[in-house]
């Protein structure tokens, strides 16, 4: 899952591209590109990594990613079981920031969209019902002619700019910071941690991987990512713990060890530090929320 710059293949005579992506699981490369991306998860669940944000995703999620913002969606382990019949599906829309020309956003009527595009490098998650006009338009755009897609995209961006129920995902300077300080060493470290977080990860292992001393690695990692190695490892582990708590098949102590921790008290402290709740309270709150949805 090394971070790569992806040069997206443009469709002939079209300034935007859209596709419906259906497969067994989501797990591409940690990557970024020079186009904006709007992702609508129709079916599937797992963990998404967007800039420095690590959180759960599920069916119905809608996320706008700005230019240069590194990201990847990873389906839950059950999707990778060779006996699994599960499928994932998403609509993915790509468009250039100036797909209608560089001066259009300076028009007073375009002020809301201009502000939206300025926020997009941090990533924006929208909390919208399935019948929302934006989701309906995305589904329709799959089969539309190029000109109709163009007009629909402009209307859709205007509607998104007015949505108040959204969450800014990544730290303010992450996309710009990442591109300026991008390093293959960081890619290797990210990849190793995301692959091996369920077991003990020693600083010496990461330092050897990066061909650095442990002390140098710690300074280097903080300079590049604005957080310590241990902070990143804990965020990944706690993100996975949230998934296990939601599923409710394991006890909290079992989840603690499943996520790579060997001390329950330390796990509880890190979970509360990152999520703001203890694992037990998080599980109760999620259960109450699910009951309210079904009521």
Dump pLDDT digits (tens) for 227-282: 899 998 998 888 788 878 877 789 999 999 999 999 999 999 999 998 888 999 88
Higher pLDDT, 23 or 13: 23
Mean local confidence (pLDDT), 115-139: 93
Residue 218 has pLDDT above 80, yes or no: yes
Task: Please check the confidence at residue 209 and state whether its pLDDT lies above 50.
Answer: yes
Q: CB 269: neighbour CB atoms within 10 A?
A: 13
Rounded to whole angstroms, the Cα distance separating 90 from 177 reads 29
Torsion of CA 114, 117, 118, 120, to 10 degrees: 160
Q: Of 38-47, 164-173, 210-219, 256-265, which gets the smallest average pLDDT?
A: 164-173
Q: Mean pLDDT throughout 108-123?
A: 91
pLDDT above 90 covers a percentage of the chain that reads 48
**Token couple for 232:** 């990143």
Lowest mean pLDDT among 15-19, 24-28, 141-145, 260-264: 24-28
Going by C-alpha positions, the residue among 134, 120, 4, 10 that lies closest to residue 61 is: 134
Mean pLDDT check: name the lowest of 14-28, 56-70, 170-184. Answer: 170-184
Alpha-carbon gap, residue 151 to 122, rounded angstroms:
25
Report the length, in residues, of the chain: 295
Task: Determine how many CB atoms are found less than 10 A away from the CB of residue 115.
Answer: 12
Which residues fall within 8 angstroms of residue 14, CB to CB, at 6 or more apart? 146, 149
> pLDDT at position 182, please?
58
- Highest mean pLDDT, choosing among 13-17, 47-51, 86-90: 86-90
172 or 41, greater pLDDT: 41
Per-residue pLDDT band at 23 (split at 50, 70, 90): very high
Average pLDDT over residues 151-166: 93
Number of Cβ within a 10 Å radius of residue 204: 11
Residue 279: predicted pLDDT: 92
Distance (Å, whole) CA 156 – CA 178: 29
- Does residue 7 surpass a pLDDT of 70? no
Q: Tell me what pLDDT residue 51 has.
A: 78
Quick one: pLDDT at residue 205? Answer: 93
d(CA 62, CA 160): 10
Mean of the per-residue pLDDT values for the chain? 84
DSSP string of the chain? ---EE--PPPPTT-SEEEEEEEES--B--SEE-SSEEEEEEEE--EEEEETTEEEEE-TT-EEEE-TT--EEEEE-GGGG-TT----EEEEEEEE-TTTT-TTGGGSGGGHHHHHHHHHGGG-EEE---TT-HHHHHHHHHTTS-HHHHHHHHHHHHHHHHT--SEEE-S-TTHHHHHHHH--HHHHHHHHHHHHHTTS---HHHHHHHHTS-HHHHHHHHHHHHSS-HHHHHHHHHHHHHHHHHHHT-S-HHHHHHHTT-S-HHHHHHHHHHHHSS-HHHHHHHHHHHHHHHH-
Distance of CA 161 to the CA centre of its chain: 20
């Amino acid at each position: 899952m090394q971070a790569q710059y992806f040069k997206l293949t443009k469709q002939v005579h079209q300034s935007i591209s859209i596709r419906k992506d259906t497969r067994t699981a989501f797990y591409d490369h940690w990557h970024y590109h020079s186009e904006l991306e709007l992702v609508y998860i129709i079916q599937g669940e797992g963990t998404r990594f967007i800039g420095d944000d690590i959180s759960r995703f599920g069916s119905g999620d809608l996320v706008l990613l700005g230019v240069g913002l590194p990201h990847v969606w990873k389906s839950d382990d059950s999707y990778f079981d060779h006996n699994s019949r599960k499928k994932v599906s998403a609509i993915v829309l790509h468009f250039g920031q100036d797909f209608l020309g560089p001066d259009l956003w300076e028009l007073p009527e375009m002020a809301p969209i201009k502000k939206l595009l300025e926020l997009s490098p941090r990533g924006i998650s929208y909390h919208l019902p399935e019948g929302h006009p934006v989701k309906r338009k995305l589904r329709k755009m799959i089969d539309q002619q190029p000109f109709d897609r163009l007009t629909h995209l402009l209307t859709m961006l205007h509607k998104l700019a007015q949505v108040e129920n959204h969450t800014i995902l990544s730290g303010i300077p992450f996309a710009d910071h990442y591109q300026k300080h991008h390093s293959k060493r960081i890619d290797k470290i990210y990849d190793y941690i995301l692959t091996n977080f369920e077991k003990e990860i020693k600083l010496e292992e990461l330092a050897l991987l990066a061909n650095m001393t442990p002390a140098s690695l710690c300074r280097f990692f903080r300079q590049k990512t604005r957080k310590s190695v241990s902070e990143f490892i804990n965020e990944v582990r706690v993100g996975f713990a949230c998934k296990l708590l939601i599923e409710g098949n394991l006890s909290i102590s079992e989840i603690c060890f499943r996520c790579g921790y060997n001390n329950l008290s330390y796990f509880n402290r890190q979970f509360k530090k990152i999520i703001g709740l203890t694992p037990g309270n998080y599980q109760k709150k999620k259960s109450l929320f699910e009951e309210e949805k079904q009521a």
